[in-house]
Amino acid sequence: MHLTIVVMMMFLPLLPPQVNEEPVIIVNKATHELSVFEEGNEVFNASAAIGKTSELTPEGQFHVKVKAKEPYYRKKNIPGGTLENPLGTRWIGFDARGTDGRIYGIHGTNRPESIGKSVSAGCIRLQNKDVEKLFDIISLESEVVIVKSNNEMKSIYDSWIRDGLNRLLNPAT
């Protein structure tokens, strides 16, 4: 059994990455970019705003827990669908840092000039037209992977796929 795993690990880098059929959202904080990969292909890409500091936008692997159209902004009691609402037209909440998808999210904005910058309190902002498209592509439980990397998005995705296979072959004991 162990010999099989050792042999597989030797040849794993030579194998093409496995393809995940479900959409996967990749956010690269280094490039202020968000992409979606489906069946190994990039099907969506947009510029994004991220946290003012590196620590504000958490890095890691998360899952979409909430999807909302015209989200209500609880902090300042601003109804959805109004120009004053900083969440824009969509909310895609994910479970970072033990939350339930209502604290950290990917959302639109009423400040389109902020896109591509480090300005948020931790969320990932997209242009409203982009978050509306993303909202239609992904589903609840879609994976969200947030990294800070100098690699291209396809390379980040391929690494994520390989790392997932490595986790299956080498479960923590």
Judge whether residue 7 has pLDDT over 70. Answer: no
pLDDT at 163: 83
State the average pLDDT over residues 60-65: 96
pLDDT at 37: 98
- 123 counts as catalytic: yes
d(CA 29, CA 144): 13
DSSP 78: B
CB atoms within 10 A of CB 150: 9
DSSP 172: -
CB atoms within 10 A of CB 101: 20
Q: Angle at CA 151, nearest 5°, toward 145 and 156?
A: 35
List strands edge to edge, sheet with 104-107: 41-47, 33-38, 24-28, 143-147, 60-69, 90-94, 104-107, 124-125
How do beta strands 143-147 and 24-28 pair?
A: parallel
State the average pLDDT over residues 145-159: 95
Q: What is the amino acid identity at position 168?
A: L
Domains of the chain by residue range: 24-161
Share of the chain above pLDDT 70, in %: 83
pLDDT at 166: 61
Burial bucket for residue 75 (CB in 10 Å: 0-12, 13-18, 19+):
exposed
pLDDT digits (tens, 9 = 90+) for 83-107: 999 999 999 999 999 999 999 999 9
Q: In this predicted model, which residue has the larger pLDDT, 111 or 15?
A: 111
- 107 counts as catalytic: yes
Q: Which of 2, 32, 63, 107 is labelled catalytic? A: 107
Q: In this predicted model, which residue has the larger pLDDT, 27 or 9?
A: 27
Judge whether residue 168 has pLDDT over 50. Answer: no
Architecture of the domain whose range is 24-161: Beta Barrel (2.40)
Judge whether residue 4 has pLDDT over 80. Answer: no
State the average pLDDT over residues 14-21: 50
pLDDT at 172: 57
d(CA 101, CA 64): 7
pLDDT digits (tens, 9 = 90+) for 18-62: 455 789 999 999 999 999 999 999 999 999 999 999 999 999 999
Q: Which of 2, 32, 63, 123 is labelled catalytic? A: 123
State the average pLDDT over residues 127-149: 97
